[in-house]
Amino acid sequence: MNGAVEFSLDLPELSFRAAGDSLVRRSVLPSGVRIVSEHVPGSRSLTIGYWVAVGSRDEEPGHFGSTHFLEHLLFKGTAKRTALDIAIAFDSVGGEHNAMTAKEYTCYYAKVQDKDLPMAVEVLTDMLTSSLLDPVEFENERGVILEELAMADDDPADVANERFFEAVMGDHALGRPIGGSPDTIRAATHAAVLEHYRANYRPQDLVVTVAGAVDHDVLVAAVTRSLALAGWDLSVFAPPVGRRSGAPAALSQGDPVTIVRRPLEQANILMGFPGLLATDERRVTMSVLTSIFGGGMSSRLFQEIREKRGLAYSVYSFAPGYSDAGLFGMYAGCTPAKSGQVAELMLGELHRLADNGVTADEMKRAAGQLSGASALALEDSDTRMSRLGRAEITLGEFIDLDEALRRLARVTADDVQNLAAELAAGSLSISAVGALDDDVFAAILPTFVPS
């Protein structure tokens, strides 16, 4: 492979070799179903994912929380299988199955031995196409989801993270919590979730990705057969749903400072700025910046705040990207009395990097960390399966390890410094959970009263 491979929506078949001599194949069926596989030599197992490009950001008023609700309900049984039958199917072969709802997609996945691929396809297809969405189970699952949200609300880091997204993203749909809120889950109706299901779980929405010990022809035959048995008419032509626009959204910042007061021994602090889109060509530069700044034990944040000063146990940076927005954040957990000092140090380190740049040794370490971590991650079929899904749904191109390393090698110290300066010039947002006073961050944002 030399360069990225485009995943064109109107190309019915695609096949190529990727790094490590893996074979990537892709089929776009006339019905719009997309099936992508990566055969990894020497594998005896595989990970399979059924994706739809709908997440929490896609919910309309009256449907908030429907995506997460639906994820739960698809495990509750079909006309052919009870919830217990679904669990037994995977438990009896030593497999794993689960699902994840994100801001821009939902994925139902399983990991099994290669010989159990037909079972995994049959069960996942049945779940996705033929869920009963039983009204009684709907009410039972409402209670389960409320317990899940209550558990998250007891985690101060989770609470700070949700408030941080709200602050940076403002009224953008990406600022809403993925799982909904207790109010939206209590207000959700069976009819709204059913409408959400019918509108977004169609042939043209479905992406199936498999990585590991997989034969693409066998996979395509199994998927098409199971979908047909489920009642989907695959003879009806439909183009795959288009990918999201990559045009940057105009973000309107929420409350610059948000403090959630709780009588805790430690304060959880998140602070940061708008970041890069998922498709921004500078994402690899962002990876280098994040590695140097707060990506490991040798990073600037870890060394300055934990090692030199002993002010925090956990401190790091992160930079998620989405189709039309992104953010760059810094996290630290420390005693409330040290919160103001820690926040000043984190922001000061970012400005120091923006003003003075990075060293050659830091660039070398970041390149080694990122290349090594990427190679190690690809030892797991879960990572490869997710890479296929991201390529199909978000990026529109496949980037193998060799191409990723080529792009990494082209990043310069000036690139990193310029990006740091751009981030630091943005609108700063802070969220914190703990026993904190109103003026704890006054030295950073003196004119704002916390919400």
pLDDT in tens, 82-99: 999 999 999 999 999 999
Do both 330 and 387 map to the same domain?
yes
Residue 141 lies in a domain: yes
Range of the domain at 371: 257-434
What distance in Å separates the CA atoms of residue 305 and residue 349, rounded to the nearest whole number?
A: 10
Q: Which two structure tokens, joined as six digits, stand for 47? A: 């990970």
Do both 112 and 223 map to the same domain?
yes
Residue 263 lies in a domain: yes
Residue 16 region by backbone torsions, left for phi larger than 0, else alpha for psi between -120 and 50, else beta = beta
Instruction: Give just the sign of the alpha carbon dihedral 94, 52, 9, 396.
Output: negative
| Residue-averaged pLDDT of the chain | 96
Question: What does the pLDDT average to over 129-138?
Answer: 94
Choose among 336, 338, 362, 340: nearest CA to 420: 362
SS3 of the chain: helix, strand, coil, percent, to 5? 45, 20, 35
Do both 185 and 55 map to the same domain?
yes
Do both 221 and 267 map to the same domain?
no
One-letter amino acid at 317 equals S
Residue 248 lies in a domain: no
CATH code, 220: 3.30.830.10
Beta-carbon contacts of residue 107 (< 8 Å; ≥ 6 apart): 49, 50, 51, 99, 100, 386, 389
Of 230, 246, 281, the position where a domain reaches its end is: 230
Do both 27 and 134 map to the same domain?
yes
Beta-carbon contacts of residue 194 (< 8 Å; ≥ 6 apart): 133
Do both 146 and 272 map to the same domain?
no
What distance in Å separates the CA atoms of residue 153 and residue 59, rounded to the nearest whole number?
A: 22
Do both 110 and 214 map to the same domain?
yes
Do both 296 and 217 map to the same domain?
no
Q: Tell me if residue 59 is catalytic.
A: no
- A 10 A CB-CB count for 225 gives 15
Of 230, 249, 273, the position where a domain reaches its end is: 230
Beta-carbon contacts of residue 93 (< 8 Å; ≥ 6 apart): 112, 113, 116, 119
316 has a pLDDT exceeding 90: yes
126 has a pLDDT exceeding 80: yes
Which pLDDT band, with edges at 50, 70 and 90, does 448 fall under?
low
Cα separations in angstroms, 426 against 4, 162, 249, 304, 420: 31, 20, 15, 23, 10
Residue 343 lies in a domain: yes
Backbone angles phi, psi at 266, to 5 degrees: -130, 145
Do both 267 and 333 map to the same domain?
yes
Choose, from 38, 71, 122, 362, the residue flagged as catalytic.
71
pLDDT at 16 (0 to 100)? 97
Choose among 121, 113, 103, 102: nearest CA to 50: 121
Do both 407 and 321 map to the same domain?
yes
Q: What is the tally of structural domains in the chain?
A: 2
Do both 67 and 193 map to the same domain?
yes
pLDDT at 250 (0 to 100)? 93
Ranges of H-type helices in 230-337: 283-294, 300-301
Do both 202 and 273 map to the same domain?
no
Q: Which two structure tokens, joined as six digits, stand for 364? A: 């070398």
CA geometry: angle 423, 173, 162, nearest 5 deg: 70
In the chain, what percentage of residues exceed pLDDT 70?
99
Residue 243 lies in a domain: no
Of 230, 265, 293, the position where a domain reaches its end is: 230
pLDDT at 450 (0 to 100)? 66
Residue 448 lies in a domain: no
Is-above-0.85 flag for pTM? yes
Residue 67 lies in a domain: yes
Residue 4 lies in a domain: no
pLDDT in tens, 264-311: 999 999 999 999 999 999 999 999 999 999 999 999 999 999 999 999
323 has a pLDDT exceeding 80: yes
pLDDT at 395 (0 to 100)? 97
What distance in Å separates the CA atoms of residue 23 and residue 302, rounded to the nearest whole number?
A: 40
